[in-house]
Amino acid sequence: MAPASRLAARLADLSHAQLLEIAAAGCEASTEVKNKADAILAAHKPLAQWAVEGVLLSSDLVPHLLAPLQLEDGAAAAVCSRWAEGWKATSEGRRRLRKVAFDFPQELLDTGSFSMAVIPGGDEQLVVRSDDTLRILDGDMICSTSLDLSVYADYGMAASEEFVYAGGGNRVRCLTHDGTEVANWQDPEYKVIGYPVLAPGGLLFCVLMAYEEDADEIVALDAQTLQLRYRFGLSLLNDTYEMAVVGEELFVCDYGNDRLQVFSLAGEHRRSITGEWKWPTALCVVKDRLYLVAREATRTANDNSQDGLRIFVLSLQGDILQVYTHPVVGQTFETLCYFDGKLLASVQNESDACVVGVVALLVA
């Protein structure tokens, strides 16, 4: 038996996967073997016409090379300028917020004080504070727990799988889901504290709201004990509103300075973000996008009629990807929350500052 025949006999006993491994190794080791393989493939398995015309005969291979990549916002620009231009040109269709039906309990509306937070986990729950009552709702908007918070002012909430954090007055309080207070922290100078947000590493960030002659500040507390760890941002913030944690960074609505301030979780200032918006008040992060409630592109000193009409969808670098405008005249967006795959936005009447609805926007 000739050597080639003996080799063929041995190869015949191998599996398809083993033959594939040998063939690939042979093609990589020898240009002659690779050319022979190309000739065999051309004869027995020719390329589809679309591949010949659209790829082999194309003057621009960039789309074919990059199309399989799963890119996040901002990553396209790091690949190449051509891809970044195409990504931006098609972003409107891919990123449009779309209003969907959402049956929010009417008895929680028509209120002057309103905030939301989400209890994470496999079965998310929505925490809603309406005036002096805090309620925990399931995905069907059925209330499982109702707590009286009449002794607390309402300056936002945060929630974990164990606790609810209520900011307001000169304290932030840590409560179990049945309303038992397990810890609280008070600023030594009795400043108003609010807008709590949880972060990795067992941290709870809160805003210390300054008196007129002072500047705002951010405190980092231990999320279990509410013991003070450190403070930062004292000279950088003016009239601070909501915050959001994005990975290892903290994004802060610096309302008085018309910008977002970005800090590391250790309190180091990293950058400022400005744009075609003014007076940022509400902020929510979903994956690699920021959702911001702010002013219109222009403002006047004595005119607040445009406040909160739009939600700006931003990349983490601050590029505007989308703008969603509230369709009802005389109503504005107040606060944001991401729940059950939807961006929830509370809606307020401008005339009486009364919350009258919650809009659900599907996040693409």
pLDDT at res. 299: 45
Q: Is the pLDDT of residue 128 over 80?
A: yes
Report if residue 63 sits inside a domain.
Answer: no
Pull the structure tokens for residue 55. Answer: 């790829």
Angle, helices 16-29/31-44, rounded to nearest 10 degrees: 130
Under 8 Å between Cβ of 26 and 33 = yes
223: left (phi over 0), alpha (psi -120 to 50) or beta: alpha
Q: What is the mean pLDDT of residues 102-129?
A: 93
Tokens representing 312?
């700006």
Fill in the amino acid letter for 244. A
Domain count, the chain: 1
Give Cα 29 distance to the centre of its chain: 48
78 vs 152 pLDDT, higher one: 152
How many Å apart are CA 124 and CA 274, to the nearest integer? Answer: 33
Is residue 146's pLDDT more than 70?
yes
pLDDT over 90, % of the chain: 51
Q: How confident is the model at residue 305 (pLDDT cuts 50, 70, 90)?
A: very low
Rounded to whole angstroms, the Cα distance separating 285 from 315 reads: 10
Mean pLDDT of 1-20: 74
DSSP state of 35: H
**pLDDT of 263:** 98
Secondary structure of residue 324 in the 3-state scheme: strand
Residue 160 lies in a domain: yes
Question: What's the confidence (pLDDT) of residue 198?
Answer: 97
Residues 302 and 59 sit within 8 Å (Cβ to Cβ): no
- Per-residue confidence band for 87, with pLDDT thresholds at 50, 70 and 90: low
- Check residue 3 and give its pLDDT: 54
Q: Which domain holds residue 323?
A: 97-362
Best CA proximity match to 128, nearest among 349, 348, 335, 353:
335
Residue with tokens 């918070």: 149
At residue 101, what are phi and psi to the nearest 5 degrees? -65, 140
In this predicted structure, what is the pLDDT of residue 106?
92
Count the alpha carbons within 13 Å of 209 in the hemisphere toward its beta carbon.
20
CATH no. for residue 309? 2.120.10.30
Query: Does 9 map to a domain?
Result: no
Q: What is the pLDDT of residue 75?
A: 61
Phi, psi of 301 (to 5 degrees): -60, -35
Any domain includes 66: no
Choose the most confident range, by mean pLDDT, from 81-85, 166-170, 177-181.
Answer: 177-181
State percent of the chain over pLDDT 70: 80
Of 262, 261, 284, 273, give the one whose Cα is nearest residue 333: 284
Q: What gap in Å lies between CA 257 and CA 16, rounded to an integer?
A: 66
Q: What is the CA radius of gyration of the chain?
A: 28
Q: Which residues contact 318 (CB under 8 A, 6 or more apart)?
A: 260, 273, 274, 275
Length of the chain: 364
Q: Is residue 36 part of a domain?
A: no
Which position has the higher pLDDT, 55 or 236?
A: 236
Asked if the model's pLDDT at residue 94 lies above 70, the reply is no
Average pLDDT over residues 236-263: 95
Q: What is the pTM of this model?
A: 0.74
125 within 8 A of 144, measured Cβ to Cβ: yes
pLDDT for the residue 66: 63
Pick the closest to residue 335 from 344, 327, 325, 326 (CA basis).
344
Look at residue 304 in the predicted model and tell me its pLDDT.
47
pLDDT tens-digit series, residues 36-83: 877 777 677 666 776 666 666 565 666 666 666 655 655 655 666 766
Q: What per-residue confidence (pLDDT) applies to 326?
A: 85
Helix residue spans in the chain (DSSP H): 3-11, 16-29, 31-44, 49-51, 62-66, 76-79, 81-89, 91-95
Distance CA 346, CA 344 (A): 7
CA neighbor of 174 nearest in space, from 218, 219, 204? 204
**Does a structural domain hold residue 254?**
yes
Distance CA 72, CA 286 (A): 12
Question: What is the Cα–Cα distance from 109 to 354, expressed in whole angstroms?
Answer: 8
Q: Say if 46 falls within a structural domain.
A: no
* Cα 144 from Cα 166, distance rounded (Å): 18
**Amino acid 237: pLDDT:** 94
pLDDT of residue 298: 47
Long-range contacts of 149-152 (CB under 8 A, 24+ apart): none
If you average pLDDT over residues 167-190, what whole number do you get? 91
- Tokens, residue 211: 């008196």
- Assess if residue 43 is contained within a domain: no
CA distance 272 to 254: 9
Q: Is the pLDDT of residue 350 over 70?
A: yes
pLDDT band for position 126 (cuts 50, 70, 90): very high
**With the CA atoms of 29, 34, 40 and 46 taken in that order, what torsion angle do they form, in degrees rounded to the nearest 10?**
130
More confident residue, 311 or 305: 311
Mean pLDDT score of the chain: 85
